[in-house]
Amino acid sequence: MSALPSSRICGIAAALALTFAAVFTPGRAPLADNAGPPQASRVVAVGGSVTEVIFALGEQDRLIARDTTSIFPEEANALPDVGYIRALSPEGVLSVDPDLVLMLEGSGPPEAVAVLKKSGVAVADVPETYTAEGIVAKVRKVGAVLGVPEKAEALAEKLEADLSAAQQDAEGKSSGVRVLFVLSTKGGRILASGSDTAADGILKLAGAENAVSDFSGYKQLSDEAILSAAPDVVLMMDRTGDHGTSAEALFEHPALGQTPAGLNNRLVKMGGQYLLGFGPRTAAAIRDLAVELSGIRS
């Protein structure tokens, strides 16, 4: 057998070196289902509840950036903002040089997420289910990826107990109350929350009834649909802009004004991330919502 030319040998050696580097570079290996890179210390959190869980686990010192929805606790706001959860830029996320991105299910756009997962940086998907069980599963997944399963189990057990107690406290306070969650009133059009949404989930946990559960997701309602829904109360996020609508302005809407909610001027507003975040604060949100709805009967 003839010997290989020296140039060919050098080429093979270089290729092997590049392959070795790609596979064994610390913190750049593919991410297993329940584990992050060993000792990941540069973590980006995408999703307000993910950030809250990291703080609740006492692992906030590993955070180097967060997304726009991560506004609690207050200390999170001091971290660099890599963009809105559903409008991420791969360049923005990668600019902070993370070794792990913890990303809530539903983050996007899909093209940006695909680029991040091909970048060599470890990316872990955190499940999002709008139930008490979903919150506990989220805590356990974050803890497993960060390598602190014992901390996560302790927090999960505490939250399970808190959520169960909150639901028991809510029993009877809001049962039978028909609630219309309004996401937007822009242009006089009512965008409401149907089933399979965070709003629908929190209403169920609080023992109330979603007035429009015959469709999935969010939908603009016709006047006829609003009148047919006949909500006892309207629930909205408490924030500025178009969502800062007062009860007086809201019930000037010709259809809403004729519902039991409009006739009785019943509008409840709560902080969006607090109400819909499905994280460590959800038990408190259930109690607060039930109190707001207490005494209202259809």
Average pLDDT over every residue of 45-66: 98
Cβ distance 54 to 76 under 8 Å? no
Q: What percent of the chain has pLDDT over 90?
A: 79
Give 137-146 pLDDT, tens digit per residue: 999 999 999 9
User: How many CA atoms are closer than 13 Å to the CA of 127, on its beta-carbon side?
Assistant: 17
Q: Indicate whether 210 and 287 sit together in one domain.
A: yes
Least confident of 26-30, 45-49, 92-96: 26-30
Residue 193 has a pLDDT of 97
pLDDT higher than 70, residue 110: yes
Q: Indicate whether 182 and 273 sit together in one domain.
A: yes
Q: Is residue 193 part of a domain?
A: yes
Q: Indicate whether 181 and 281 sit together in one domain.
A: yes
Give 132-188 pLDDT, tens digit per residue: 999 999 999 999 999 999 999 999 999 999 999 999 999 889 989 999 999 999 999
Q: Is residue 175 part of a domain?
A: yes
Q: Is residue 162 part of a domain?
A: no
The residue among 29 and 295 whose pLDDT is bigger is 295
Beta strands 190-193 and 178-184, pairing class: antiparallel
Neighbouring residues of 242: CB distance < 8 A, sequence distance ≥ 6: 184, 185, 186
Give the count of domains, the chain: 2
Nearest to 268 by CA among 241, 296, 242, 240: 296
Q: Which pTM does this prediction carry?
A: 0.85
The boundaries of the domain holding residue 113 are 37-148
Q: Is residue 214 part of a domain?
A: yes
Neighbouring residues of 237: CB distance < 8 A, sequence distance ≥ 6: 183, 243, 269, 270, 271, 272, 275, 276
Give 59-68 pLDDT, tens digit per residue: 999 999 999 9
CATH number at residue 197: 3.40.50.1980
The pair of structure tokens assigned to 205 is 């946990």
Alpha helices in the chain (DSSP H): 6-24, 48-56, 90-94, 110-117, 132-146, 149-170, 198-205, 223-229, 247-250, 260-263, 272-276, 282-293
Q: Indicate whether 197 and 130 sit together in one domain.
A: no
Residue 243 has a pLDDT of 45
